[in-house]
Amino acid sequence: MYKSTNIDINQMKTLQDLDKPLHDMKAGEGKSFYPLPMTQGEGLNGFFNEYDDLTLGFPPIGVKADDASRTVVSVLEQPDIMANLKLLHGWYQDGIINPDAPTKTENDKGRAFFAAQAFPGAEVSWQINDAVEKYDMVQHYGPIYTTSTIQGSLNAISANSKYKQEALKYLELVNTDPKLRNMLAFGELGVDYNNVDGEKVIERTSDTWPLAAYTQGTFFNLAVTKGAPEDQWEQVKKLNDAATSSTILGFALDITDLQTEVANCQAVWDKYKYELITGASDPEKMVPKITAELKSAGMDTIMQAAQEQINQYFK
């Protein structure tokens, strides 16, 4: 569809690398075509990847993941983030990004280009879910371990659960029984998927089972979807083994005494984030405004407490 632009996705390592290809696609496809479609909640997935969020879930405060000094910073004001925000804004103005991105809540199927958290073979599931013949995928960052990303794949049993033993038994089964693991990931056998090679390779027959398999349990007893590399999970294991670690891996910010400041800062960020992370607002005007409001809401207090806790944790 976009062959005339001669895009080599293997050369796409930074946002700046995308500038020419995205503009070429726009020029070739016309005014109503948006090469980088976005929704409000996601913006550009992974935009803040290089900053560890201290498990706050709040991008404006963080530590650069490779910073040996473990210094807590105002992330929006960092030169690399500011440069990328300016790039996004330029793309928004040039019609590379859809004008309704700050208010759009759901992705269209079959996007020409998008960023996502992924693993080897993930594009096969996207092809099925989006009814697209083929997606090409290239790794541009990571893998990296942060406390937040590791928490993203933890399963736990509530301390208030009435059925702790049963819940533990269920979690054990999910992680040891391939049949149950496949059902959780793919749906009902014979309805949503069929076995191709025992329980090791399956073929999905519907796109109505939307659960995110990576949240459920181990990959290493899960079938490979037909079309994905047969050694998919071996590739994932190699990626896991090769992952780098944030310099503050293991640290989680204790916000017991910061509840008010965190809530107030989150409210400020929620007010502006959709406009900012979709490129709709000018970062040179908005970042100083947002930062000033964050400071009024208590950001400096959070940052100071975070630095003290980090220094204490790693002394």
Global pTM reads 0.80
Sequential DSSP letters for the chain: --GGG---GGG--SHHHHHHHHHHHHHHH-TT--SS---TTTSSTTTTTTEE-TT---TTEEEETT-TT--EEEGGGSHHHHHHHHHHHHHHHTTSS-TTTTT--SPPSS-SS------TTHHHHHHHHHT-S-------S--EE-HHHHHTT-----TT-S-HHHHHHHHHHHHH-HHHHHHHHH-SBTTTEEEEETTTEEEE--S-----GGGTS-STTSPEEBTB-TTHHHHHHHHHHH-EE-TTTT-----GGGHHHHHHHHHHHHHHHHHHHTT-S-HHHHHHHHHHHHHHHTHHHHHHHHHHHHHHHT-
Cis amide leading into 143 (omega within 30): yes
**Residue 2 φ/ψ, nearest 5 degrees:** -120, 30
**Residue 63 φ/ψ, nearest 5 degrees:** -125, 130
Q: What is the pLDDT of residue 1?
A: 42
Among residues 88, 78, 32, the alpha carbon closest in space to that of 51 is found at 78
Q: What is the pLDDT of residue 5?
A: 54
* Measured distance CA(306)–CA(284) in Å, rounded: 27
Q: What is the pLDDT of residue 6?
A: 65
Would you say 219 and 118 are in contact if contact means Cβ atoms under 8 Å apart?
A: no
Would you say 202 and 185 are in contact if contact means Cβ atoms under 8 Å apart?
A: no
* Measured distance CA(202)–CA(186) in Å, rounded: 9
* Measured distance CA(182)–CA(204) in Å, rounded: 11
What the chain holds in terms of domains, given with CATH numbers, is 3-19+31-146+249-313 (3.40.190), 164-228 (no CATH)
Q: What is the pLDDT of residue 139?
A: 75
- Average pLDDT for runs of 10 along the chain of length 315: 58 82 88 89 84 95 97 98 96 94 85 77 77 78 86 90 97 95 95 89 89 88 90 90 94 97 98 95 98 98 98 96
The CB density around residue 253, as the number of other CB atoms within 10 Å, is 22
- CA angle (208, 209, 212) in 5-degree steps: 135
Q: What is the pLDDT of residue 4?
A: 45
* Measured distance CA(219)–CA(206) in Å, rounded: 21
